[in-house]
């Protein structure tokens, strides 16, 4: 088996050499931000396609900037590191790439700056990247069961909700864990004022009156790349508009269809929320059309969206 590699402290190293100190600021205080990017293996093309990698690295830059961190690599450089990492690992199966920017200073104390009488200096940041073979995160072959989480989604004025801050994911981990402990597949989080925000690691769409509806960007959601993909595919390929607005909890109970979407989750139909059946409890026609389209697109089988799919092996050195 090929050796497993990571990108760490500016170079590719065997994964066991990618280690941080227990004193690392990010490990103690959650001062990091990350991304999740999927690579889809297309066996007919003998090719791996990374889906919308530049968009993920653009968001990583935005997260870092909101969180007072700096990322010294450009989007193009980061995309190439991700492709090179997959090649080094020789993965020829669906893969998940995890880039992380983190406060790497080994220092006790919350502040991300050091002050002297005359200067203010930010603690150092670093960047790492690893990749793992990755199958389905949520079931995409049959609908899943969700509950409304007792944990509210963090408010933007607590931790920037549109960032993928590592510390923010304790909020998501509590919601996901609670849902699974209660026997559900996923938890849907409400905002502090009681409106629907998103799943613990996915954006959410409902179908009502022939339209797609999704919580607006002001509802403390992560501005998902899959969400944007769904909006575009629904409009361009199915002629269905998406309304971005505030969504009530009980609209989920009476919607015709409901699905969650995200890089990890892909598009996962929901059959039940809080033990109330959604629609007829089966995968609805809009959801199943979007699922089919989405998988065609991400696997590099839809020519119109080839620009979203970066070939990893044929793309070497380009
Ligand atoms: C909290 C949260 N919301 C939404 C998403 C979906 O975002 P994307 O489609 O960009 O993966 C994710 C996954 O990254 C997430 O963690």
DSSP states of the chain: -PPPEEEETTEEEEGGG----TTBHHHHH--EEE--EEEEEETTTTEEEEESHHHHHHHHHHHHHHTT----S-HHHHHHHHHHHHHHHT--S-EEEEEEEEE--B--SS-SEEE-SS-EEEPPEEEEEEEEE---SS-SSS-EEEEE-SSPPPPTTTS-TTS-BTTTHHHHHHHHHHHHHTT-SEEEEEPTTSBEEEESSSEEEEEETTEEEEE-TTSS----HHHHHHHHHHHHHH---EEEE--BHHHHHH-SEEEEEETTTEEEEEEEETTEEPTTSSPPHHHHHHHHHHHHHHTT--GGGGGGEEESSTTTT-
103, 164, 176, 299: which one is catalytic?
A: 164
CA-CA distance, 247 to 209, in Å (whole number)? 14
**The pLDDT value given to residue 130:** 98
Other C-beta atoms closer than 10 Å to the C-beta of 184 total 21
pLDDT of residue 315: 58
**Could you tell me the distance, in angstroms and rounded to a whole number, from the CA of residue 265 to the centre of ligand 1?**
8
Ligand 1 atom showing the smallest separation from residue 263 Cα: 11
Instruction: Name the residue with tokens 């119109």.
Output: 304
Which residue's alpha carbon is nearest to atom 16 within ligand 1?
201
Ligand 1 pocket, 220 CB below 6 A? no
- pLDDT, position 318: 47
CA distance 260 to 270: 7
Nearest CA to ligand 1 atom 4: 202
Any atom of ligand 1 within 6 Å of the Cβ of 225? yes
Quick check: CB of 215 below 6 Å from ligand 1? Answer: no
Residue 96 CB coordination number (10 Å):
18
What is the distance between the alpha carbons of residues 292 and 269, in angstroms, rounded to a whole number? Answer: 12
CA dihedral for 264, 277, 205, 157, sign (positive or negative) = negative
pLDDT per residue as tens digits for the range 45-63: 999 999 999 999 999 999 9
Can you tell me which residue has the tokens 């797609």? 212
Confidence at residue 139, expressed as pLDDT on a 0 to 100 scale = 85
Q: Whose alpha carbon is nearest atom 15 of ligand 1?
A: 201
* pLDDT for the residue numbered 80: 98
- Candidates 204, 150, 198; CA nearest to 174 is 150
pLDDT value at residue 137? 87
Identify the CA nearest to 14 among candidates 172, 97, 130, 171.
130
Cα 222 to averaged position of ligand 1 atoms, centre (Å): 6
Show the low-confidence residues of the chain (pLDDT under 70): 1-2, 315, 317-318
**Rounded Cα distance, 299 and 94, in Å:** 10
Give me the chain's average pLDDT, please. Answer: 96
Q: What pLDDT sits at residue 136? A: 85
pLDDT digits (tens, 9 = 90+) for 228-260: 999 999 999 999 999 999 999 999 999 999 999
Domains and CATH numbers, the chain: 5-133 (3.30.470.10), 144-302 (3.20.10.10)
* Beta-ladder partners of 39: 50, 95
Residue 138 has a pLDDT of: 85
> Looking at residue 265, what is its pLDDT?
95
Can you tell me which atom of ligand 1 is nearest the CA of 200?
A: 1
Which one, of 279, 293, 308, 282, lies nearest residue 238 by Cα?
293
Helix axes 53-66, 225-238, angle to 10 degrees: 140
What is the pTM assigned to this prediction? 0.96
- Ligand 1 centroid – CA 116 distance (Å): 39
Q: Is 299 a catalytic residue?
A: no
Dihedral angle, C-alpha 244, 250, 252, 256, nearest 10 °: -100
How many angstroms separate the alpha carbon of residue 195 from the centre of ligand 1? Answer: 18
Query: How buried is residue 146: exposed, middle or buried, by Cβ count under 10 Å (0-12/13-18/19+)?
Result: buried
Q: How many CA atoms lie within 13 A of 60 on its CB side?
A: 31
């Amino acid at each position: 088996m090929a050796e497993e590699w990571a990108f760490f402290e500016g170079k590719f190293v065997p994964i066991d050499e990618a280690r941080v100190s227990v004193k690392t600021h990010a490990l103690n205080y959650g001062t990091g931000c990350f991304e999740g990017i999927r690579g889809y293996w297309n066996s007919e093309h003998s090719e791996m396609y990374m889906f919308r990698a530049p968009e993920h690295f653009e968001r990583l830059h935005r997260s870092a900037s909101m969180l007072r961190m700096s990322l010294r690599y450009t989007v193009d450089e980061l995309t190439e590191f991700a492709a090179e990492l997959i090649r080094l690992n020789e993965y020829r199966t669906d893969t998940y790439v995890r880039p992380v920017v983190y406060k790497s200073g080994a220092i006790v104390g919350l502040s991300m700056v050091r002050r002297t009488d005359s200067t203010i200096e930010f603690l150092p940041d670093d960047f790492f990247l690893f990749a793992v073979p990755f199958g389905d995160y949520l079931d995409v072959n049959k609908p899943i069961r969700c509950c409304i989480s007792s944990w509210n989604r963090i408010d933007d004025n607590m931790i920037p909700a549109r960032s993928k801050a590592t510390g923010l994911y304790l909020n998501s981990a509590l919601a996901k864990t609670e849902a699974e402990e209660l026997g559900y597949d996923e938890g849907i989080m409400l905002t502090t004022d009681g409106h629907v925000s998103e799943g613990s690691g996915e954006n959410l769409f409902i179908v009502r009156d022939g339209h797609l509806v999704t919580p607006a960007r002001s509802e403390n959601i992560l501005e998902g790349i899959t969400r944007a993909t769904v909006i575009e595919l629904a409009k361009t390929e199915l002629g269905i508009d998406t309304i971005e607005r505030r969504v009530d909890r009980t609209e989920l109970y009476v919607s015709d269809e409901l699905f969650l979407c995200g890089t990890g989750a892909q598009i996962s139909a929901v059959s039940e929320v809080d033990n109330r059946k959604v629609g007829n409890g089966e995968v609805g026609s809009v959801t199943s059309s979007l699922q089919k389209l989405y998988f065609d697109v991400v696997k590099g089988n839809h020519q119109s969206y080839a620009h979203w799919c970066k070939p990893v092996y044929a793309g070497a050195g380009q």
